[in-house]
Amino acid sequence: MVVYIFNFIDRQILVILQESIKVELGLSDKQLGLLSGFTFAVFYVVCGIPIARWADRYNRVNIVSASLVVWSGMTALSGLTANFMQLLAARVGVGVGEAGASPPSHSIISDYFPHEERGRALSVYSIGIYIGILVGFLAGGWVNQFFGWRMAFFVVGIPGILLAIVVKLTLREPLRGLSDEGDHSAVPEGNLLDDVKRLWSIPSFRLAAIGSGFNAFLGYGALNFMPSFAIRIYDIPVGLVGTWLALIAGFAGAAGVYTGGHLSDVLGKRDVSWYCKVPAISTMLCGIFLVPALLVGNQYAMWGTYVLVVFCQSMFLGPTIATAHALVGPRYRALASSVVFFVLNIIGLGLGPLTVGTVSDLLEPVAGVESIRWAIMTTGFAAMIGGLLYFRAATHVKEDLEKGI
């Protein structure tokens, strides 16, 4: 979880710094969307699947610690960039490094916990997302305000390299399949493409993965431009914006992700379809709550409603990964996580911020500063689609669990 905190500090700190970067480097909203979303996501997901393949066969602790060195170093180097292309290259490096974090970590956690506890266990790990956003926004906002955006990249990047040493020396590699019946020590033969095709042929896996992508479309599309929205519409100083978003993402997000895992474990004991129904309901609710959050005329009412958006949006991840891991054997869990993250990040992180940034640029000539409000609003439609896909996955999950892979 601590590694995942650093993962999201380094991934999301750009969001709170982007208005300052935009001014100094002369960037458009579309370029900000490329930096914070699409380019990062493409390299993250392309590298994620082969790295997950290694994690299903070799030492996962080594992969996590080496990845931490790469993305932390590239975050620090971001502070030395002088133009858009240099910063883009640094973000590519962060994406490549971060691809080696979650799939191996998910696999380790699922070896330590049986299926009926994995929703909560994976949700506790996923709390790292929201603590990371909290620290990144809080530190990034205030360091940016007093010392500039370049110093913020140094402050959050360099400690990650030191953490990698701690990870290598202290994190233990569990026996493969420790919480599952049978001997899973044998390394399976097989072609990577064939294994991915087998995963994708499972209806509940496929529908839940795509549903998670549309959930993340709102999550990343809205969150990555909320600082710009607050600064442009309400004229709030960047340090205060970082504080508000840090507290909301940190506490509401952490509460939501744990609630999602806990509810799915409790309700799933009676009916496994709840592992898909919980994210279905919460995903649709976050899309509904986004509308008043963007339309209220008072900044405090906006922040208060946005708490509900973040709480509901964050509930999906633990149940989704728990479902994916239940559908496959221990030697395929890192791959299952990486395929979910491939879809989640291409649709969510890749297209979410890029779409919001592009729509904002297109509307700016007619809507002026209000263009950012209506651009973020488009992400609510994605959440409704995601919820419907999760409900559809719920109708298949019981049968798919009986078949397995």
**pLDDT score recorded for residue 250:** 87
CA distance 209 to 51: 19
**pLDDT score recorded for residue 359:** 94
Residues 389, 210 contacting (CB under 8 angstroms): yes
Per-residue pLDDT band at 187 (split at 50, 70, 90): low
Neighbours of 148 (CB within 10 A): 14
Percentage of residues in the chain with pLDDT exceeding 70? 96
Per-residue pLDDT band at 175 (split at 50, 70, 90): confident
Residue given tokens 């009412």 in the structure block? 301
**pLDDT score recorded for residue 53:** 87
CA distance 357 to 215: 18
**pLDDT score recorded for residue 181:** 59
**pLDDT score recorded for residue 134:** 87
Nearest to 133 by CA among 219, 206, 47, 71: 219
Number of H helices, E strands in the chain: 21, 0
CA distance 169 to 278: 38
Per-residue pLDDT band at 241 (split at 50, 70, 90): confident
Mean pLDDT, the chain, integer? 90
**pLDDT score recorded for residue 119:** 87
**pLDDT score recorded for residue 284:** 98
SS3 143: helix
**pLDDT score recorded for residue 188:** 60
What per-residue string of b and e applies to 189-226 under the rule 16 or more CB within 10 Å gives b? eeeeeebbeebeebebbbbbbbbbbbbbbbbbbbbbbb
**pLDDT score recorded for residue 376:** 96
Per residue in 360-400, pLDDT (tens digit) is 999 999 999 999 999 999 999 999 999 999 999 999 999 99
Nearest to 137 by CA among 72, 211, 33, 145: 145
Whether the per-residue pLDDT at 183 is higher than 70: the answer is no
SS3 261: helix
CA distance 43 to 56: 20
Whether the per-residue pLDDT at 185 is higher than 80: the answer is no
**pLDDT score recorded for residue 193:** 86
2-171+191-400 under CATH 2.40.10.120, yes or no:
no
Contacts by 190-198, CB closer than 8 A, 24 or more apart: 192/49, 192/50, 192/53, 195/332, 195/335, 196/49, 196/335, 196/339, 198/405
SS3 326: helix
Better pLDDT: 145 or 295 = 295
Sequence ranges of the domains in the chain: 2-171+191-400
Per residue in 271-325, pLDDT (tens digit) is 999 999 999 999 999 999 999 999 998 999 999 999 999 999 999 999 999 999 9
Question: How far from 386 is each of 30, 219, 222, 307, CA to CA, in Å?
Answer: 24, 12, 15, 20
Whether the per-residue pLDDT at 180 is higher than 70: the answer is no
**pLDDT score recorded for residue 206:** 96
CA distance 239 to 142: 5
CA distance 66 to 20: 31
Per residue in 24-68, pLDDT (tens digit) is 999 888 888 788 777 778 888 889 889 998 888 889 999 999 999
Q: Which residues contact 174 (CB under 8 A, 6 or more apart)?
A: 108, 111, 112
To which H or E segment does residue 98 belong?
A: helix 84-98
What per-residue string of b and e applies to 93-130 under the rule 16 or more CB within 10 Å gives b? bbbbbbbbbbbbbbbbbbbebebebbbbbbbbbbbbbb
**pLDDT score recorded for residue 182:** 54
Better pLDDT: 12 or 101 = 101
